[in-house]
Amino acid sequence: MTRTAPPLAALLALMCAALALVIGANSSLSVALPDLAADLGATQTQLSYVVNAYALVFAALLLPIGIAADKYGRRSFLVAGLAVFGAASLASAYVDSPEAVIVLRGVAGLGAAAVMPATLSVLVDAFPPERRTFAVSVWAGVSGAGAMLGVLLSGVMLEFFWWGSVQVAYGVTAAVVAVVAVAVVPPSRNPALSLDAIGSVLALVGLFGLVLGVIEGPERGWSDPLTVGALVVGVAALAGFVRYEATTPDPMLDVRLFRNPGLSAGSVLVFLQFFAAFGFFFLAPQFLQFVQGYDALGAALRLLPLALGIGPASSFGPRLLERFGSRWVGAFGMGQMATAFTLFALLGDGPYWRFAVTLVVFGFGFGLAITPGTQLIIDGLPADRRTLSAAVNDVTREVGGALGGAVAASVLVAVYGAQLTTTGLPAPAAEAAEDGIASALGVAGQLGPQGAALVTSAQDAFTTGYAAALLVGAAALLAGAVIGGLLAPQRTTAPSEVEVPV
């Protein structure tokens, strides 16, 4: 009996649901970090790892798992990834230490690495060429809006339940999506592809070392042996990965393909866009709660204007691409995001309405920039490597996001530590305050008149670090606008037209 192909609308909805899960899982805990810090006693560095462990494992494994999915079956990897992601998310809700949460978040990232590239590759395979840009645009819009949905879900759950309820919601929803995927997603695989164990190990070691060094630098010092060793190992392993992939006969990622200007430009756009965006999603919920005094739901609701920008931009994206081309649409979107980040930094602890207007500007730029980058990557790789092209898009996104979150956290920790005033405080209180603003606000209530001064100092120090991190993001976005404008072709190239180096 011949299996009937599922309606494209149903397939698109299911893949977007799976995508929203793994995207939202990263941003949702940003709102829950204050509650998690209070319940588990996590330091600012541990909170960074709670967010970055997921993104780090996710990014490091996207390419090897993408190749394995192409070889052994995309549907099987999608369903297995949802199962691992869901089980780890559910388990993390019931542990009682920050270290256990960090480990389980890494396991969830492993599952997400199997889910995310499959969602895009299944759509690219299923949709005919004349409707593919629409599907990619919807997917790209959800990949941006998914972060906001995660923040909103977290805010609502925290209004009524404890921080672990967010993880329970993701675990249960992942199980439902996995069951539906078995029935809806068509099977597809390419058994002729070769796996690349050496390249996989080099990519994993390189990314892990690089992000570890960036996170530990402000806490331990940039000359600390662990920091220096991690950065050296990370850079060396990534350089070894590039060299090995350029010379092996069966590479996981043929780096010579990046001679294609569209693939290179798309990768730069996606990398730098999410480098900045993930830093913002990590910092903004904490800023709204710790500095402006909103609860979790209040902070989540006050981030919603971002969707007012992303939605229209994602809808107009395909028409704008057709008229103006990837180069100008992508560069303009990145430039608008850079403007918004600069405004965020200058606003400081100002009135909310200015923050909301800037969110709309940020969202519109985000929505404009995301589709050109994704489309350039898809069109820059051969048509028989659907999951690989999706994995390249996702790995540039997640590596950018992991590094962006790590850099934002590092800038925040460094500036916070330099700006915080603890003169005259008892040694235990001063030490606790230096762990992060959550600890500072917690200990301030026990200090009497000195507590008010500590609260003011901690909030001012956090705001200064927040602004500095956003200016770093603005610089990255401006660089992306310039590079994209110089490298991106005026039109995307159909997969059959891509020149593959021999």
- The CA distances from residue 491 to 64, 165, 273, 327, 481, in Å, are 30, 46, 20, 8, 17
Reduced 3-state DSSP string for 53-119? HHHHHHHHHHHHHHHHHHHHCHHHHHHHHHHHHHHHHHHHCCCCCHHHHHHHHHHHHHHHHHHHHHH
At 501 the pLDDT is 34
pTM: 0.71
Return the axis-axis angle of helices 386-419 and 449-487, rounded to nearest 10°.
Answer: 140
| Alpha carbons 42 and 28: distance in angstroms, whole number | 17
**Which H or E element spans position 386?**
helix 386-419
Domain boundaries, the chain: 8-195+252-497, 196-251
Contact 269, 321 (CB under 8 A): no
| Alpha carbons 315 and 468: distance in angstroms, whole number | 33
Mean pLDDT by 10 residues, the chain (502 residues): 60 85 78 76 74 76 76 82 91 86 89 82 74 74 71 78 83 90 76 74 82 72 84 91 84 73 78 87 83 80 82 70 71 88 85 89 85 72 58 72 78 82 76 75 74 81 89 91 74 42 32
| CATH architecture assigned to 8-195+252-497 | Up-down Bundle (1.20)
At 495 the pLDDT is 39
What residues have CB less than 8 Å from 497, skipping those under 6 apart? none
**Which H or E element spans position 390?**
helix 386-419
Amino acid type, 48: S
At 194 the pLDDT is 67
Kindly report the number of other CB atoms within 10 A of residue 353's CB atom: 9
